[in-house]
Amino acid sequence: MITHFLLKGLDRRVVVALLLILAVAVLVPVLNLVVPEGSPFHVPTYLVTLFGKYATYAALALALDLVWGFCGILSLGHGAFFALGGYAMGMYLMRQIGTRGVYGDPILPDFMVFLNWKSLPWYWHGFDHFAFAALMVVLVPGLLALVFGGLAFRSRVTGVYLSIITQAMTYALLLAFFRNDMGFGGNNGLTDFKDIVGFNVQADGTRAALFALSCLTVAAGLLFSAAIVHSKLGKVLVAIRDAESRTRFIGYRVATYKTFVFVVSAMLAGVAGALYVPQVGIINPGEFSPANSIEAVIWVAVGGRGTLIGPIVGALAVNWGKTWFTGVLPELWLFALGLLFVLVTLFLPKGIVGTISDLFARRRAAPPVDPTAQPQPAE
């Protein structure tokens, strides 16, 4: 039954995208680990890490497109779910340090020793086990989305008002995690990771494996999202996006549908954040910044809202441009990002993938031209 549900969403574009993602997930680690460093085909480890970070961003953009592109929920708080998943993974990684920390405490992380904590807080217990941490990666963002979305959607908060309160939620978490007495490292966050499931985080093989897992997460998220979109549930979501009041009057429980897709999206964002942290080596309250959530919206808009593949393309394109711009003209990057968003809104309102799809659709719909046809004389 589950297999039938997943296969139902496989159209040609999704299949091609999945094959490309899986090919990259295999090819890049091979070029990094197998091909010698002197070869022009060798991919250095720093690029593997960079591409892995891009893949986590693509998963976040995909999660946002599921709620914004197909249900009309413009969330400016998805960075919070991303960061919560990252903190759950960061707590596990901190518990793996043990006596190898600066202060050599076998239980307390270094920042707790420095701040004179006497014992480990109750909410840190269990994070020395990977299975527990993996559960929290999806459970914590999912529960937050369930509570927040359930209250907001049942109160019929929509449009710009919903966007504002999602941004307020993110900012509130930002301020909370900045506090040292919260027990999450304060401004410095969590860092100095050593191992993940027994493997050195800094090792080339671990980096390659994390990159492959990030790509597989994007592929799995795309497959599951496509299955939702092409199901009866997806048709209801699109109806809610296009005419919420009419859908409610027909008899559908709009709040329930919106809450469900919001929770699924938050869980995917949490998994993306969990894979992000061991690759970049740090998680701090800055990841809750509203600017990060707004930037994710730009990725979706640039790639093409409501296309599933577009947000992946947009996340990769924008972040590659960010990497290039911040190296060449760092002081102009924010202006370039703003200009990009304005230009896409004016000239490519459907994004890169949406515009290309429209062009192909028009070409297929256009009647074929008969070169032997004679012009008809005017009457």
pLDDT in tens, 54-102: 999 999 999 999 999 999 999 999 999 999 999 999 999 999 998 998 8
Collapse the DSSP code of 283 into the 3-class scheme (helix H, G, I; strand E, B; otherwise coil) and give the result.
Answer: strand
**pLDDT value of position 376:** 60
pLDDT of residue 3 exceeding 90, the answer is no
Contacts of 358 (CB under 8 A, 6+ apart): 350
Contacts of 106 (CB under 8 A, 6+ apart): 98, 99
pLDDT of residue 378 exceeding 80, the answer is no
* Token couple for 102: 């600066």
Question: Is 213 in contact with 277 (CB distance < 8 Å)?
Answer: no
pLDDT in tens, 9-57: 788 899 999 999 999 999 999 999 999 998 999 999 999 999 999 999 9
Rounded Cα distance between 23 and 131, Å, is: 28
Rounded Cα distance between 185 and 168, Å, is: 22
Tokens 């896409």, located at residue: 344
Contacts of 41 (CB under 8 A, 6+ apart): 31, 35
* Token couple for 274: 């969990």
Mean pLDDT of all residues belonging to the chain: 91
pLDDT of residue 357 exceeding 60, the answer is yes
**pLDDT value of position 344:** 81
Tokens 């496509």, located at residue: 226
pLDDT in tens, 295-325: 999 999 999 999 999 999 999 999 998 888 8
Domain extents in the chain: 2-364
As beta bridge partners, residue 282 has 191
